[in-house]
């Protein structure tokens, strides 16, 4: 069984640890890391099997087969390249870090040179398989519209820098419209789906993004629309936010667990 380490002990990291601990994912949990000792200790205390420890990402790079990043874009920027250079696989949840084309290329080349893999789960959106298939031919346009409750967008850098106050919002309001490259910087904890779609389609600069703050809803809603030689694809998904973090959809955690199952499963379906 593969030996894995978890960077980030929030909702997603906790769900992954629980899946490994229960045997739902056939793997060995080597250790966890979080800047908050309280979060790391809480995760370790909740586990019933194995002997995982609190450790540093550097220790994971030296000892693990796979590292799961579910912390931040900064964590990807700091550890993805060293992991790839050391021949260690990495699953990346904070996909927005790859909007930097130079960084993306360096990680990809290092992974190829050292026989390692970078895994990006589909996350909180559906349609990635169809989009990847459509991208084999020509794409005309790819757009993502994200609609979130006010609590799911609060504190985003774009809103703070532009003095956009959502506290008294009464109706759905468009707060951002631009490229995915701009969106993942403006809302680093909110729109990883846009980054994933960009990697599946035709890039961060050409993927159009609209973000709507909606005080009338309690779910995170993502709508993907694609035009190309294949035809027209449109789909919408309504995600329940995680019970611990309104910025994260519950489906994002399930997607990470599903990807781990797929990695360890000899039968590969839908690839």
For the chain, domain boundaries:
2-123+251-264, 128-247
pLDDT of 267 strictly over 80: no
- Which residues are tagged catalytic? 222
Mean pLDDT of 43-53: 93
Residue 34's pLDDT band (boundaries 50, 70, 90)?
very high
Cβ neighbours for 158, distance < 8 A, ≥ 6 positions apart: 164, 175, 176, 186, 187
- Cα 223 to the chain's mean position, in Å? 17
Tell how strand 118-119 and strand 53-54 pair up. Answer: unpaired
Q: Does domain 128-247 have CATH number 3.30.360.10?
A: yes
Matching fold, domains 2-123+251-264 and 128-247: no
Ligand-binding site membership of 24 (annotated)? no
| Range in 30-34, 97-101, 108-112, 121-125 with the lowest mean pLDDT | 121-125
pLDDT of 2 strictly over 70: yes
Structure-block tokens of residue 167: 């506290």
Q: Which residue has the higher pLDDT, 79 or 270?
A: 79
pLDDT in the model for residue 49:
87
**Contact call for residues 118 and 94 (beta carbons, < 8 A):** no
Q: Which residue has the higher pLDDT, 83 or 244?
A: 83
Residue 271's pLDDT band (boundaries 50, 70, 90)?
low
**What are the tens digits of pLDDT across the range 143-166?**
999 999 998 898 999 999 999 999
CA 127 to CA 122: how far, in whole Å? Answer: 8
**What are the tens digits of pLDDT across the range 59-82?**
999 999 999 999 999 999 999 999
pTM value is: 0.91
Residue 141: other Cβ atoms inside 10 A:
14
Biggest CA pair distance of the chain: 53
Mean pLDDT of 127-146: 95
Ligand-binding site membership of 192 (annotated)? yes
Q: Which CATH class is domain 2-123+251-264?
A: alpha beta
Tell how strand 207-213 and strand 173-179 pair up. Answer: antiparallel
pLDDT of 4 strictly over 60: yes
Mean pLDDT of 122-149: 94
Q: Which residues of 39-72 are buried (b: 16+ CB within 10 A; e: fewer)?
A: bbeebbeebeeeebeebebeebbeebbbbbbbbb
CA 24 to CA 258: how far, in whole Å? Answer: 10
**What are the tens digits of pLDDT across the range 161-208?**
999 999 899 999 999 999 999 999 999 988 899 999 999 999 999 999
């Amino acid at each position: 069984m593969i030996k894995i380490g978890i960077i980030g002990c929030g909702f997603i990291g906790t769900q992954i640890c629980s899946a490994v601990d229960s045997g739902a994912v056939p793997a060995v949990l080597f250790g966890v890391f979080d800047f908050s000792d309280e979060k790391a200790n809480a995760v370790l205390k909740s586990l019933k099997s194995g002997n995982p420890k609190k450790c540093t990402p550097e220790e994971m790079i030296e000892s693990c087969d796979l590292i799961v990043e579910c912390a931040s874009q900064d964590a990807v920027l700091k550890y993805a390249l060293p992991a790839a250079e050391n021949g260690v696989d990495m699953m990346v949840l904070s996909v927005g870090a790859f909007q930097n084309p130079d960084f993306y290329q360096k990680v990809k080349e290092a992974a190829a040179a050292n026989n390692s893999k970078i895994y990006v789960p589909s996350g909180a959106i559906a349609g990635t398989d169809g989009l990847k298939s459509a991208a084999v031919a020509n794409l005309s346009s790819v757009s993502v519209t994200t609609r979130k409750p006010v609590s799911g967008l609060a504190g985003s850098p774009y809103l703070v820098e532009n003095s956009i106050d959502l506290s008294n919002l009464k109706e759905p309001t468009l707060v951002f419209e631009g490229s995915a490259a701009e969106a993942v910087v403006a809302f680093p904890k909110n729109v990883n789906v846009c980054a994933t779609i960009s990697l599946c389609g035709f890039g961060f600069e050409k993927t159009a993004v609209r973000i709507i703050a909606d005080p009338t809803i309690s779910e995170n809603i993502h709508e993907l629309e694609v035009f190309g030689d294949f035809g027209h694809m449109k789909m919408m998904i309504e995600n329940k936010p995680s019970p611990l973090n309104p910025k994260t959809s519950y489906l994002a955690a399930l997607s990470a667990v599903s990807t781990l199952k797929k990695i360890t499963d000899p039968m590969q379906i839908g690839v």
